[in-house]
Amino acid sequence: MRPGIGSLIIILIVALLIFGPSKLPQLGKALGSTLKEFKKATQGLSSEDDTDKNENK
Protein backbone atom coordinates (compact mmCIF):
# COMPACT_ATOMS: atom_id res chain seq x y z
CA MET A 1 0.00 0.00 0.00
CA ARG A 2 1.52 3.29 -1.13
CA PRO A 3 0.99 6.54 0.74
CA GLY A 4 -1.15 9.11 -1.00
CA ILE A 5 -0.58 12.81 -1.43
CA GLY A 6 -2.52 13.60 1.75
CA SER A 7 -0.34 11.29 3.81
CA LEU A 8 2.84 12.83 2.42
CA ILE A 9 1.61 16.34 3.22
CA ILE A 10 0.81 15.33 6.80
CA ILE A 11 4.26 13.74 7.18
CA LEU A 12 5.92 16.92 5.88
CA ILE A 13 3.92 19.11 8.26
CA VAL A 14 4.82 16.90 11.23
CA ALA A 15 8.50 16.95 10.21
CA LEU A 16 8.35 20.73 9.95
CA LEU A 17 6.84 21.00 13.43
CA ILE A 18 9.36 18.60 14.99
CA PHE A 19 12.59 19.75 13.36
CA GLY A 20 11.82 23.33 12.39
CA PRO A 21 12.40 25.01 9.05
CA SER A 22 16.14 25.49 9.54
CA LYS A 23 16.88 21.76 9.97
CA LEU A 24 14.80 20.42 7.06
CA PRO A 25 17.39 21.12 4.30
CA GLN A 26 20.07 19.37 6.35
CA LEU A 27 17.81 16.39 6.95
CA GLY A 28 16.92 16.22 3.26
CA LYS A 29 20.57 16.29 2.26
CA ALA A 30 21.45 13.55 4.76
CA LEU A 31 18.53 11.41 3.60
CA GLY A 32 19.49 11.89 -0.05
CA SER A 33 23.11 10.90 0.52
CA THR A 34 22.02 7.88 2.56
CA LEU A 35 19.70 6.71 -0.20
CA LYS A 36 22.45 7.27 -2.79
CA GLU A 37 24.91 5.12 -0.83
CA PHE A 38 22.28 2.43 -0.29
CA LYS A 39 21.45 2.36 -3.99
CA LYS A 40 25.14 2.15 -4.89
CA ALA A 41 25.64 -0.75 -2.46
CA THR A 42 22.65 -2.69 -3.76
CA GLN A 43 23.78 -2.22 -7.36
CA GLY A 44 27.15 -3.65 -6.39
CA LEU A 45 25.47 -6.71 -4.91
CA SER A 46 23.32 -7.11 -8.00
CA SER A 47 26.33 -6.99 -10.33
CA GLU A 48 28.17 -9.54 -8.15
CA ASP A 49 25.19 -11.89 -8.42
CA ASP A 50 25.18 -11.52 -12.21
CA THR A 51 28.88 -12.35 -12.47
CA ASP A 52 28.43 -15.38 -10.19
CA LYS A 53 25.60 -16.67 -12.38
CA ASN A 54 27.69 -16.21 -15.52
CA GLU A 55 30.66 -18.04 -14.00
CA ASN A 56 28.52 -21.01 -12.97
CA LYS A 57 27.28 -21.58 -16.54
Q: Which pLDDT score, from 0 to 100, does residue 42 have?
A: 85
DSSP designation for 4? -
- 9 exposed, middle or buried (CB, 10 Å; 0-12, 13-18, 19+)? exposed
Task: Give a yes or no: residue 52 inside a domain.
Answer: yes
Domain count, the chain: 1
Task: Give a yes or no: residue 42 inside a domain.
Answer: yes
Task: Give a yes or no: residue 15 inside a domain.
Answer: no
pLDDT, tens only, 4-46: 899 988 988 998 899 888 888 898 899 899 999 999 888 877 7
User: Domain containing 57: what range?
Assistant: 23-57
- Computed over its alpha carbons, how large is the radius of gyration of the chain? 18
Strands (E), 1-57: none
pTM of the model: 0.53
